[in-house]
Amino acid sequence: MNISKRWRYLISTIILGVGLYLFLSLPVDSRYLGIVLELILVIFCFWFGLGIIFERGVYNKLMTAILPVLLTLGYGLFVILLPSSQISFLIYAAAFGVMIYLIFLVENVFLVAIGYKTVPLYRAAYTVSLILVLLTAFFLFDSMLSFRLPFWGNSLLALFITILLFLYQFWAIAIDLPDDGKGRGRWVYILVAAWIVGQMALVFSFWPVGIFKGSVYLVSIIYLLSGLFQADIKDRLFKGVVTGYILTGIAILMAIIVTNAWG
């Protein structure tokens, strides 16, 4: 039986939403195993939903799995720190389902754009994907800072998270290019972003910015770098664009300095 895309997305979303609800309902000492099983389920459901489970190409399959896997991991670790009850678990699972369904819609557009390039919905899909990337980054960084890791642990973990997020970002941006971004120095963009975010995470380990504000600041840096890299990759890094992002960066820096305690 041939199932339409929308039905595959809906079925997969419901399965993953129920999976998250069951994960949240587990005893505390079983939740780490539960999140691992949920992540495996996410990969299978996304490949099934997008209709690429039997495709031989590995690259696009890996790229489509990055965002939903990171979102599930970050969101799962984030919500277990929130007030817990059966009603709240249902609300968390429903919100998760909405985000998962949006990722299905976005990545469907991306996969179509790979073949046709001129897809009218690409810009809207990229904008939604960027919002989801920033949300994912917030969940992951908030969870990371909640663990109270040593400074080197925060720096390395932030670096690793950023590598994965910008690997996805480069894929999402380069899809719109005629050559899929070949020869654009993908790893230069990714590693520069990862190094910057990793260094800022190290700084925040010594600076009492707080978990929430520290996460927001790191997400702001990712937003800033994403905009600059997108403009550069698409050869649109004009003077006005650079000036705008520099001013945004200065505003973020001033916010960090003004809103945090010294001494």
Same domain, 111 and 192: no
Residue with the two structure tokens 């199932």:
3
Same domain, 161 and 259: yes
| Per-residue confidence (pLDDT) for residue 181, from 0 to 100 | 59
| Per-residue confidence (pLDDT) for residue 183, from 0 to 100 | 62
Query: Has residue 94 been placed in a domain?
Result: yes
More confident residue, 75 or 238: 75
Same domain, 156 and 255: yes
Same domain, 153 and 244: yes
| Per-residue confidence (pLDDT) for residue 182, from 0 to 100 | 65
pLDDT value at 175 more than 80: yes
In this structure, what DSSP letter does residue 19 have?
Answer: H
> Confidence class of residue 113 from pLDDT cuts 50, 70 and 90?
confident
Query: Has residue 225 been placed in a domain?
Result: yes
Handedness of CA 221, 224, 227, 231 (dihedral sign): negative
Angle (nearest 5°) at CA 176 between 175 and 181: 60
Identify the domain boundary among 116, 133, 166: 116
CB 114, CB 60: distance < 8 Å: yes
Instruction: Give the structural domain span for 222.
Output: 144-263
Query: Has residue 130 been placed in a domain?
Result: no
Query: Has residue 80 been placed in a domain?
Result: yes
Number of independent structural domains in the chain:
2
More confident residue, 140 or 230: 140
Same domain, 168 and 239: yes
pLDDT value at 263 more than 60: no
CB 175, CB 114: distance < 8 Å: yes
pLDDT value at 261 more than 70: no
More confident residue, 104 or 82: 104
| Per-residue confidence (pLDDT) for residue 179, from 0 to 100 | 62
| Per-residue confidence (pLDDT) for residue 180, from 0 to 100 | 59
139/150 Cα distance (integer angstroms): 19
Identify the domain boundary among 100, 116, 132: 116
pTM for this prediction: 0.92
Query: Has residue 132 been placed in a domain?
Result: no
Tokens for 209, please give them: 């910015």
pLDDT value at 237 more than 80: no
pLDDT value at 243 more than 90: no
Query: Has residue 22 been placed in a domain?
Result: yes
Q: What is the mean pLDDT of residues 138-159?
A: 93
Same domain, 109 and 156: no
Same domain, 85 and 184: no
71/222 Cα distance (integer angstroms): 15
Same domain, 12 and 60: yes
84/92 Cα distance (integer angstroms): 10
Q: What is the mean pLDDT of residues 122-149?
A: 94
| Per-residue confidence (pLDDT) for residue 29, from 0 to 100 | 84
Query: Has residue 134 been placed in a domain?
Result: no
| Per-residue confidence (pLDDT) for residue 138, from 0 to 100 | 97
- From 158, 122, 119, 126, select the one nearest 142 (Cα to Cα): 158
| Per-residue confidence (pLDDT) for residue 117, from 0 to 100 | 61
Same domain, 185 and 235: yes
| Per-residue confidence (pLDDT) for residue 104, from 0 to 100 | 96
Identify the domain boundary among 116, 131, 157: 116
> Confidence class of residue 64 from pLDDT cuts 50, 70 and 90?
very high
Q: What is the pLDDT of residues 39-54, one digit of tens each?
A: 999 999 999 999 888 8
| Per-residue confidence (pLDDT) for residue 143, from 0 to 100 | 93
Same domain, 85 and 194: no
Same domain, 190 and 111: no
Q: What is the mean pLDDT of residues 89-115?
A: 93
Query: Has residue 121 been placed in a domain?
Result: no
Same domain, 94 and 150: no
